[in-house]
Amino acid sequence: MAFGWIDEEARTRRRAGLVRTLRPRPADTPLLDLASNDYLGLTRHPEVVEGAAEAARTWGGGSTGSRLVTGTTALHTELERALAAFCGFEAALVFSSGYAANLAAVTALGPHGSLIVSDAGNHASLIDGCRLARGGTQVVGHADPEAVRKVLAAHTGAAIVVSDTVFSVDGDRAPLTALAEACREHGAGLVVDDAHGLGVLGDGGRGAPYAAGLAGAEDVVVTATLSKSLGSQGGVVLGPARVIDHLVNAARTFIFDTGLAPAAAGAALAALRLLERAPERAARAREVAAELYARLTASGLEAVRPDAAVVSVRAPSPERAVRWAADCRTAGLAVGCFRPPSVPDGISRLRLTARADLSGAEIERAVRVIGETRP
């Protein structure tokens, strides 16, 4: 029977307690949200919603084509200029998602004969970029610049080092300065995914590379999503103009994909302008994360000290993690739940988002619910 093997896979998944299901959410819910990636609480900000609406009224529901044909509007180029200026890079290129941006950066900068050095904790989209690239990939231990150095030293020819800046599972930060040093010693390029850093880290949310003094460097390329701090949808690659020109000509997820929807571009631009005017939002997200961590660990829970706005709380097993998240939901709190195969180390966690717009009372309520429902 066609697809017969998937029934056996489904049974295995059920036995392991790893079945995933979709749950549509209502527009308005009394749930306290610590599960989304809306770090700055901008998704439903009136200016962001108006940015989307105005763009849709002006340009329509879709961008009508690929970027090189009809899919580039004045709004796309304005957004690219604004993102590049904000993050401190010479140029930027906007994609339909952060996933597509990562596939583009890794495949276009990791050609045949080159070496791609990839952190073991990298996001799935970077991993898939490595799988699609023609260059050879060498996976190194998590946040281990010495291992990166060794692998680079053993290779002659073009190389890139690929890493998240803030890792999505535990919320810990990559050793960017040491990685950049290792790259420079060996003439390699550094490609970092700042999905969880943009809007949270660096002066006014300019991102982790900015905070590390790497913004605008000729050997550094940054990818990011517009779907987290910027409350919209889409992705971006930031870097030297010659790298961005190369992507325009060589990156398949740029060339063959329909341009970002105008509404998404308009929302992201409005969020960026808002962040420029209210840079304290970035610091507040970090503050909320630190407070969540302090209170959770004080109540005896095991959590990873947050480097940005992701707080990861350890659960005893995948089944109990799922149960814990469900019990939180019943008690009015939405939290994320990470378990295999999303976590290669097999450790299940609750994943909390420290939103800049959470009040002290909401933080207190979240910590109380997590403690009371603890398995």
In the complex, least distance from residue 234 CB atom to ligand PMP, rounded to whole angstroms: 7
Alpha carbon distance 207, 228 (integer Å): 13
In the complex, least distance from residue 194 CB atom to ligand PMP, rounded to whole angstroms: 8
In the complex, least distance from residue 207 CB atom to ligand PMP, rounded to whole angstroms: 13
Alpha carbon distance 334, 255 (integer Å): 38
Angle made by CA atoms 147, 315, 361, in degrees to the nearest 5: 110
Counting contacts by CB under 6 A, is residue 353 touching ligand PMP? no
**What is the Cβ-side half-sphere exposure of residue 329, based on CA atoms within 13 angstroms?**
15
Nearer to ligand PMP, 97 or 373 (CB): 97
Counting contacts by CB under 6 A, is residue 138 touching ligand PMP? no
DSSP assigned state of 188: -
Alpha carbon distance 210, 309 (integer Å): 17
Q: Which of the ranges 5-13, 92-100, 175-183, 240-248 carries the binding residues for ligand PMP, by CB under 6 A?
A: 92-100
DSSP assigned state of 204: G
- Which residue among 51, 88, 98, 171 contacts ligand PMP (CB under 6 A)? 98
Helix (H) or strand (E) holding 224: strand 220-225
- Which residue among 195, 244, 309, 366 contacts ligand PMP (CB under 6 A)? 195
Reduced DSSP (H G I as helix, E B as strand, rest coil) percent helix, strand, coil of the chain, to 5: 45, 15, 40
CB 134 within 8 A of CB 111: yes
In the complex, least distance from residue 233 CB atom to ligand PMP, rounded to whole angstroms: 7
Alpha carbon distance 99, 77 (integer Å): 20
In the complex, least distance from residue 124 CB atom to ligand PMP, rounded to whole angstroms: 8
Nearest partner of 167 among 158, 175, 159, judged by Cα: 175
In the complex, least distance from residue 298 CB atom to ligand PMP, rounded to whole angstroms: 28
Question: How big is the site for ligand PMP, counted in residues (CB under 6 A)?
Answer: 14
Counting contacts by CB under 6 A, is residue 123 touching ligand PMP? yes
In the complex, least distance from residue 168 CB atom to ligand PMP, rounded to whole angstroms: 4
- Which residue among 97, 163, 312, 373 contacts ligand PMP (CB under 6 A)? 97
- Which residue among 163, 168, 229, 373 contacts ligand PMP (CB under 6 A)? 168
SS3 115: strand
- Which residue among 39, 59, 89, 99 contacts ligand PMP (CB under 6 A)? 99
Residue nearest to ligand PMP (CB): 98
- Which residue among 33, 80, 164, 172 contacts ligand PMP (CB under 6 A)? 164
Please name the residues in contact with 224: beta carbons below 8 A apart, sequence gap of 6 or more: 87, 98, 101, 193, 194, 195, 197, 198, 207, 235, 236, 238
Counting contacts by CB under 6 A, is residue 199 touching ligand PMP? no
Spell out, one character per residue from 212 to 251, where the chain touches ligand PMP: x when CB under 6 A holds, - when not.
Answer: -------------x-x-------x----------------
Instruction: Please state, in angstroms and as integers, the Cα–Cα distance from residue 364 to each residue in 138, 140, 305, 324, 369, following that order.
Output: 44, 39, 18, 18, 9
Nearer to ligand PMP, 172 or 193 (CB): 193
In the complex, least distance from residue 235 CB atom to ligand PMP, rounded to whole angstroms: 5
Residues lying near ligand PMP in the complex (CB under 6 A)? 97-99, 102, 123, 125, 164, 168, 193, 195-196, 225, 227, 235
